[in-house]
Amino acid sequence: MKHALVLKKGREKSLKRRHPWIFSGAIDHVAGKPAAGDTVEVRSAEGAVLALAAYSPDSQIRARVWSFEPGAAIDAAFFKERIAQAVRRREGLAAARHTNALRLVYGESDGLPGLVVDRYADVLVAQFLSAGAERWRETLLDALVEATACEAVFERSDAEVRKLEGLAPRVGFARGNREARRCPIIEYGLNFRVDVEEGQKTGFFLDQRENRQRVRALAAGREVLDGFCYTGGFAIAALAGGARRVLAVESSAPALEVARDNLAANALDASKVEFFKADVFAHLRLLRDQGARFGLVVLDPPKFAPTAAQARNAARAYKDVNLLAFKLLAPGGLLATFSCSGGVTAELFQSIIAGAALDAGAEAQIIERFHAAADHPVALEFPEGDYLKGLLLLKK
């Protein structure tokens, strides 16, 4: 192979542990003149070939590994098989019997760095987030259509990470064309309308699927507050579980429009739900001042800290909103609280929540921990894939 990244002496340890990222600081020099997305050999200082990776000259993550087998052929057949394997694994999940919406490809965890693909019924939503995924875009699209028989693929390559890769955003149909602003899906017997064109990320938070089911099971007879309700996933699950009343708060008017559509798509008592447009922090303070009390509070805020460098500022936001939640919980009430911030570890998140309870004068116990659904697997050698964490707490 004519292109290679040669590592500095002693900088091959992470690769030998099969971590798929090679940072710029680990590279001694580049042999050849690879273009963005080209496949390069990754060699130790002694010349041993350690992996084959996609080159990204504009990113601090200078290369992402396709294969740790030096003799592998990185070609259309390689990607066709990787896609097929990822799809087969999802077909074997228990959730596949209860929903027609799954994450089919989860980047590094499926051996396809920079590629994320969600399936919503007969529409795929794909994100090409790295130079390597961009280089093989057409090949990957062909493989996805073949593996799923979905003719429509909508591209949402508009995440901030593309800027770090030197890539411009791109949104629109990559394959096929159909109305996809309200893509109907089913999740454990509940109907949702997913806006794959304008919604956050790929349109719906599939990672919270099993956690929505858990909230559904806990909601019976309780007054429920759903903060940052987005398109109403937790609120509707709570109502389906027998909640006495649900107050769902969200600052985005378009998200609330979809939430109301989602509610109307289900045979539920809509009079028991109030979707309220407001800043969640401000509205929770107002509820506190009014002496409101709830038996179950759900907090699923947006990503406050994408990276560890932003964790300190994010910690204040997480602490403030959870402190308010503890104030609003009745004795014996439950708090289901989440963080999707990659820069906040599970240990830090628990410490933040402990501080919030202390400042609120509340005693609470962790009775469960939440994680992303099984269609978001975490490779053992890539802990960065484990971004969603949550706690279920009982207020004494």
Q: Does 246 lie in the same domain as 382?
A: yes
Indicate whether 50 and 83 sit together in one domain: no
Query: At CA 140, angle to CA 139 and CA 143, rounded to 5?
Result: 90
Give yes or no: residues 373 and 229 share one domain.
Answer: yes
User: Is residue 186, in this structure, part of any structural domain at all?
Assistant: no
Is 191 among the domain residues?
no
| Known catalytic membership, residue 340 | yes
Split into its structural domains, the chain has a count of: 3
Residue 53 has pLDDT above 90, yes or no: yes
Q: Which of 150, 183, 229, 340 is catalytic?
A: 340
Is residue 305 scored above 70 in pLDDT?
no
Averaged pLDDT for residues 201-206: 91
Q: At what angle do helices 311-328 and 280-289 cross, to 10 degrees?
A: 30
CATH of residue 27: 2.30.130.10
pLDDT value, residue 303: 81
Output the domain CATH number for residue 244: 3.40.50.150
Domain boundary among 144, 166, 181: 181
The token duo for 30 is 């580049």
Residue 325: inside a domain, yes or no? yes
**Predicted confidence band at 307 (pLDDT cuts at 50, 70, 90)?**
low
**Residues facing residue 187 across a β-bridge:** 99, 190
DSSP states along 93-144 = SGGGGTBSEEEEEEGGGGT-TTEEEEEETTEEEEEE-SHHHHHTHHHHHHHH
Q: pLDDT tens-digit profile of 134-183?
A: 999 999 999 999 999 998 999 999 998 999 999 999 999 999 977 766 79
Do residues 286 and 385 both lie within one domain? yes
In a domain, 340, yes or no: yes
**Are residues 296 and 364 both part of a single domain?**
yes
- What percent of the chain has pLDDT above 70? 98
Is 187 a member of any domain?
no
Domain identity same for 53 and 115: no
What mean pLDDT value characterizes the chain? 95
CATH of the domain at 80: 3.30.750.80
- Distance set, CA 164 to CA 47, 57, 62, 68 (Å): 29, 10, 11, 25
Domain that holds residue 260: 205-395
Neighbours of 173 (CB within 10 A): 14
**Helix H or strand E encompassing 352:** helix 346-360
Pair 37, 173 in one domain: no
The pLDDT tens digits of the residues spanning 256-303 come to: 999 999 999 999 999 999 999 999 999 999 999 999 999 999 999 988
Q: Are residues 340 and 259 in the same domain?
A: yes
Q: What is the pLDDT of residues 60-98, one digit of tens each?
A: 999 999 999 999 999 999 999 999 999 999 999 999 999
In whole angstroms, what is the distance from residue 386 CA to residue 376 CA? Answer: 9
Same domain for 238 and 273, yes or no, is yes
Beta strand residue intervals within the chain, DSSP E: 4-7, 21-23, 27-31, 39-43, 49-55, 61-67, 101-106, 115-120, 123-128, 152-157, 170-175, 183-187, 190-194, 223-227, 245-250, 273-277, 294-299, 329-339, 364-370, 389-395
**In the prediction, which pLDDT does 181 show?**
65
